[in-house]
Amino acid sequence: MSISIAKSIKIGLLASLITLSGCGGGSDSSSTSTSDPSATARPIATNNLRIYQSGDSIQYDVTANISIGGVIQDTFIGTISYTVTLQAGPVDPAGVLHSIFSSSTNLTASNGAPSTNVTTTYFEQDAVGNMNFYGDSTDGWITTPASGFYTGSKSPLTSPDSWAGSFITQNGTATNYSTTVVNKEFVATGSGSFETFKVIDNLSSTDANGITSSLTSTQYVVPSIGAVKVIEAESKNTTNGLQTITVTAIMSTTNIPF
């Protein structure tokens, strides 16, 4: 739902997909449109990120696959939806109540097996729209830095721009991240075509057991709406070898006016 929502997409989609690894073989059922979206694209109306309201929601159509050692193990199609609830809790270790993005993932594997997953991301926005993340229901609260949050998105959005940082969550996972606003591009979605900012996140994490992972997320962002398209690839060392998860999520519907 913004550049920052893509960060919760990582949590929602990847957590759900990881639980499905090893379901069986399949082929990638995703398709790519060859039409030029620039002809009918809505121009960017403002560089300021939307100040989210309770009830704001976006649904994405999802295609994904999991490979181990370079061999595709399974493919998935489905949806993920995000809904905002302000000051909905829970409270952080300091006793502060936070707003949440609730994500609901519904996927079907190539063998027909369904999977559903619900995750929650804790956030606050400041007066200009900068998005601060405090943790999520998968990894727990952010314990480092001392502020208890990291700034995942800056407002207004401009290109070129970049920022970087690091954080540690309650489960002991340490993450370094960098974000680059590259340029503007046109993107076609189920709700029409849009002019967007292309934003690339790179993250590297080490969990409490010393297992490392890396993730590259390319997000196409309409500031007044959020991320309308996300392409991600995560690689993680597992006992079965290098596991790679690729995800494409394209906005299908939203109740956010544009």
Q: For 78-111, how does the pLDDT look when each residue is reduced to its tens digit (9 = 90+)? A: 999 999 999 987 899 989 999 999 989 888 888 8
pLDDT at 122 over 60: yes
- Predicted local confidence at residue 200, as pLDDT: 94
Interatomic CA distance for residues 28 and 145, integer angstroms: 40
The overall average pLDDT reported for the chain is 86
Gyration radius from the chain CA atoms? 18
- Both ends of the chain: CA-CA distance in Å? 12
Q: How confident is the model at residue 39 (pLDDT cuts 50, 70, 90)?
A: confident
229 in Cβ contact with 2 (< 8 Å): no
Confidence label for 113 from pLDDT (cuts 50, 70 and 90): confident
Which pLDDT band holds residue 8 (cuts at 50, 70, 90)? very low
Q: 37-41, 161-165, 189-193, 198-202: which range is least confident on average?
A: 37-41
Burial 60-79 (b: 16+ CB within 10 A, else e): bbbbbbbbeeeebbbbbbbb
Mean pLDDT of 66-77: 89
Helices vs strands, H then E, count in the chain: 1, 13
pLDDT digits (tens, 9 = 90+) for 51-63: 999 999 999 999 9
Specify the length of the chain in residues.
258
Residue 148's contacts (CB-CB under 8 Å, 6 or more residues apart) are 92, 93, 94, 134, 141, 142
For 130, half-sphere exposure in the C-beta direction (CA atoms, 13 angstrom radius) is 8
Q: Greater confidence, 12 or 87?
A: 87
CA pair distance 57, 59, nearest whole angstrom: 7
Q: What is the mean pLDDT of residues 183-206?
A: 95
Tell me, what's the pLDDT at 116?
81
**pLDDT for residue 14 is more than 70:** no
Residue 2 binned pLDDT confidence (cut-offs 50, 70, 90): very low
pTM: 0.86
Provide the pLDDT confidence category of residue 34 given band limits of 50, 70 and 90. low
How far apart are the C-alpha atoms of 20 and 110, rounded to whole Å?
Answer: 11
CA 81 to chain centre: 11
Confidence at 195, pLDDT banded by 50, 70, 90: very high
63 compared with 31, residue with greater pLDDT: 63
* Residue 13 confidence class, pLDDT cut points 50, 70, 90: very low
Residue of 46, 42, 41, 5 whose CA lies nearest to 157 = 46
- Lowest model confidence (mean pLDDT) among 171-175, 184-188, 241-245: 241-245
Element (DSSP H or E) covering residue 176:
strand 174-189
Average of per-residue pLDDT across 183-203: 96
What pLDDT score does 35 carry?
73
Virtual torsion, Cα 244, 248, 254, 258, nearest 10 deg: 120
Spatial distance between the Cα atoms of 136 and 208, rounded to a whole number of angstroms: 17
Do 40 and 188 touch, CB atoms closer than 8 A? no
Tally of CA atoms within 13 A in the half-sphere of 67 that contains its CB: 12
